[in-house]
Structure 1
Amino acid sequence: MKLVRYGQPGREKAGILDQDGRVRDLSGIHADITPELLAPEALSRLRGIAPESLPLVDEGERIGPCLTGTSKVVCIGLNYRDHARETGKPIPSEPVVFMKATTSISGPYDDVVLPKGAEKGDWEVELGLVIGQKAQYVAEEDWQRYVAGYCVVNDVSERAFQVERGGQWVKGKSSDTFCPLGPWLVTADEVADPQNLELTAEVSGEIMQAGSTSEMIFDCAHVVAYLSRFMTLLPGDVIATGTPAGVGFARNRFLKPGDSLRLSVAGLGEQRQQVVAHEDRRS
């Protein structure tokens, strides 16, 4: 299944894609794509619904982030050898872990807003894992029991905040709109091999990243098991598994207002964003 959320920010409703790729209204059965809906039993019941029996959603509706109720976004840094090399960092011996604030979550087609003082905005296309069951001390061979599905993540960064301002990476990763999710949450049964998916990122018509999840240093099984030793993973949590080479930081090419972004992971859909400057408005 490909689950989707549509509607204006804060008022999104649940949807599901039919076999022709059209959004159908699921909100009469489930109001929204919440952590409770990601449990195996709930997803099993959902598979019994024929999307074609549901009302069509207007094609003009905004598509929101593909789930709500996320308690944390956990990211794995330097998880592709070519990306580690392009940043001048050694290949990590253990996963590099950092977080993004949940307030950074935005829709897959929403604008990416460069924050006040931004100098070095950057892009990172990533495979996102969406947790479906509470996970603690998971064995690697059992990791798939805990993953409800997958989505595209753009781990937008402000490298000057991240690298040049001291402290931890989180402040360069957490500005509003810095975590577009979706367009779809694709349930795990539709992804035959999450370690064999192509990822691409294009900036203003130029392909910047082209890689495969087969190139991860630490695969999905290891990442889920590893994280579950150090924190409880809850339904709705998102794990961003790292990015291949081609980021702006390595190219000395940073985002500026007017840039456009297109990011995709095979089978999980495509994101499209415009980059805009922060506007100083009274709240």
Structure 2
Amino acid sequence: MRIARFRSADGIRLGRIDDGIITDISDVPGVGTSLRAILPELASLRETIEAAHGKCHELAEVILEPPVDDPQKYLGIGMNYAAHAEEARAAGIPIPTSQMWFNKQVSCVVGPYADIHKPRISDKLDYEVELGVVIGRRCRHVAVEDARSVIAGYLVTNDFSVRDWLQQKSPTFTLGKSFDTHGPMGPWLTTDDEIDDPLSLQMQLSVNGEVRQQGTTDDMIYDIYEQIAYLSQVMTLMPGDVLATGTPSGIGAPTGNFLRVGDVVRAEIEGLGVIENRVIAEP
């Protein structure tokens, strides 16, 4: 099942995606307009949602919003793909010896086709296609073998990063990862049951049609189940929390090939869809 948040003449709504058509499910009893709010009950609502016959729209007729616009936590893991860690090492960045997590402040979250700001204060805007994992239920101390059971589903994220604020101007990654608009995600939530193996998905990122990143999720150093187990030792994970699980090699930092105003960045992951964002000057 694929569920989107979208904006139409009726306001912000939730919809079921079927073959390019979005069916409004917001009036289904127990659903409403917040995906985060219904995640713990999604399994019990599934049959009703799949049978719903609400107002229908072509996808081109609506504006897709971030599937989860209000996560309590948006966390990312650094240098978690083997090839990416090697390119970072070659650029003089030490490879971490354990999972290295950072916050992306939730104010950075925008929709899958929103414009992305090139900051006034930096020329080092970088891109990172990442598999986004959305937590489906409150959990703590999750065993690796049980971790898939707490996943609601997946989406495409682009972990835009401002490199000079990431590596030089702040002792943590948080500031360089949290500029406004630098957390596009979507295009919708694909529920876990739709994906046979999230550890073997093709992913690609292009800038103006030129492929910059290409890889598969099986290149992760710590897979998504190990990530959930690690984090849940420290904190309670909540429905709607988003985990950005690492990026393949090919980012702009090692070559200085950073994004410029007018660039169009397209990120796609097998089975999950595409997000595409144009870089504009910060207003």
- Give your verdict on TM over 0.5: yes
Which residue identity does 1:23 align to in structure 2?
I
SS of residue paired to 2:117: strand
Distance in 1 between residues matched to 2:170 and 2:237, nearest whole Å = 28
Q: Which residue of 2 aligns with 1:56?
A: 56
Q: What pairs up with 1:127-276 in 2 under 5 angstroms?
A: 127-276=131-280
2:88·2:95 contact (CA, 8 Å) conserved in 1? Answer: no
Write out per-residue CA displacement over residues 228-266 of structure 1, whole angstroms, 9 at most, x where no aligned residue: 011111110000000000001122100110000110010
Structure 2 segments unaligned to the other structure (5+ residues)? none
Identical pairs, percent? 39
SS of residue paired to 1:45: helix
Q: Which residue of 2 aligns with 1:12?
A: 12
How far apart are 1:57 and its partner, in Å?
2.1
2:70·2:106 contact (CA, 8 Å) conserved in 1? Answer: no
Distance in 2 between residues matched to 1:4 and 1:152, nearest whole Å = 13
Distance in 1 between residues matched to 2:5 and 2:43, nearest whole Å = 16
How far apart are 1:52 and its partner, in Å?
6.8
Structure 1 segments unaligned to the other structure (5+ residues)? none
2:35·2:67 contact (CA, 8 Å) conserved in 1? Answer: no
* TM-score normalised by length of structure 2: 0.93
How far apart are 1:55 and its partner, in Å?
1.6
SS of residue paired to 1:103: helix
Q: Which residue of 1 aligns with 2:76?
A: 75
Q: Which residue of 1 aligns with 2:45?
A: 45
Distance in 2 between residues matched to 1:49 and 1:13, nearest whole Å = 14
Distance in 1 between residues matched to 2:78 and 2:237, nearest whole Å = 18
Write out per-residue CA displacement over residues 196-254 of structure 1, whole angstroms, 9 at most, x where no aligned residue: 00110001111000000000000011000000011111110000000000001122100
* C-alpha spacing 1:33/1:187, structure 2 compared with 1 (3 Å): farther
How far apart are 1:93 and its partner, in Å?
2.5
Select the residue among 99, 122, 125 that pairs with 2:126.
122
How far apart are 1:23 and its partner, in Å?
1.1
SS of residue paired to 2:186: coil
Query: Aligned-pair RMSD on alpha carbons?
Result: 1.5
Between 30-39 and 240-249, report the one with greater CA deviation. 30-39
Distance in 2 between residues matched to 1:248 and 1:107, nearest whole Å = 23
Which residue identity does 2:199 align to in structure 1?
Q
How far apart are 1:36 and its partner, in Å?
2.7
Distance in 1 between residues matched to 2:226 and 2:7, nearest whole Å = 36
How far apart are 1:116 and its partner, in Å?
2.1
Distance in 1 between residues matched to 2:50 and 2:148, nearest whole Å = 25
Aligned residue pair count: 275
1:37·1:43 contact (CA, 8 Å) conserved in 2? Answer: no
